Structure 1
Amino acid sequence: MHSFFVWYRVNRDEGDADMVIRGMMARLACRSGVGGRLIRKRDEPGLWMEIYADVADPARFEPLLRQAVDEFDVEMFIDGTRRTECFLAGDAIPAICA
């Protein structure tokens, strides 16, 4: 499985940005079957991150993500660029408590 982390700075209208980005993420979830989470940096609330975990087919997911971003005109709320990183899942580390 893969996990996608998409981070960016919101430049204005945080309320409108929140509504649009959450709408985009909901549409993406319907199309891809992958639900996401939207989080904000603790000490820098203008820095946002979308997290999409357990993506089984990244070759299918990535174009669906791009399509949803374009359809919802997400870029108009972004200061700079959206950066997307994809990580491979590793094995869970068990707790070994003495």
Structure 2
Amino acid sequence: MNHCLYCYFKADADDAALLSRLRALQSALQARTGVPGRLLRRRDDAGTWMEVYEGISDADAFLHAWLEISVECGLAALSRHEEWFQPLA
């Protein structure tokens, strides 16, 4: 069964350094896990950002890689809220 991770957090709407670190995270994650990521922000609140990862076959391995690479990319201190979903049968 595939899983999806939706992770949201607050950021400055134009934080170019954070955006660069998030793109590095997603590039490294895709290289390590094969799962591409997307970055979104709320339409009505440009300071709420979201990472989206879909099609995750091994949620535990992905989470481990996501946390490890987050540290490597300088994102460990970012207060992110994770939401995990899976398809309905």
Q: TM-score, normalised by structure 2?
A: 0.90
Count of equivalent residues: 88
Question: What is the alpha-carbon distance in structure 2 between the residues aligned to residue 11 and residue 75 of structure 1?
Answer: 17
Q: Secondary structure at the match of 1:42?
A: coil
Within 5 A, what are the aligned runs for 1:67-78?
67-75=68-76, 78=78
Letter in 2 for 1:39: L
More strand by share: 1
For normalisation by structure 1, the TM-score amounts to: 0.82
Q: Pick the structure with greater CA Rg.
A: 1
- 1:83-98 alignment to 2 at 5 Å? 83-90=81-88
Counterpart code for 1:42 = R
The gaps in structure 1 that reach 5 residues or longer are 92-98
The alpha carbon displacement at 1:11 in A equals: 4.4
Structure 1 residues 73 and 13 mapped into 2: Cα distance closer, same or farther (>3 Å)?
farther
Residue 10 of structure 1: how far off its partner (Å): 1.1
Q: CA RMSD in A?
A: 1.6
1:15 matched to 2:16? The reply is yes
Q: Secondary structure at the match of 1:74?
A: coil
Deviation at 1:90, TM superposition (A): 2.3
Give CA deviations for 1:14-66 in whole Å, capped at 9, x if unaligned. Answer: 11111111111110110011001000001111110000001011011000000
Gaps of at least 5 residues in structure 2 are: none
SS of 1:52 mapped into structure 2: strand
Q: Greater shift after overlay, 3-12 or 25-34?
A: 3-12
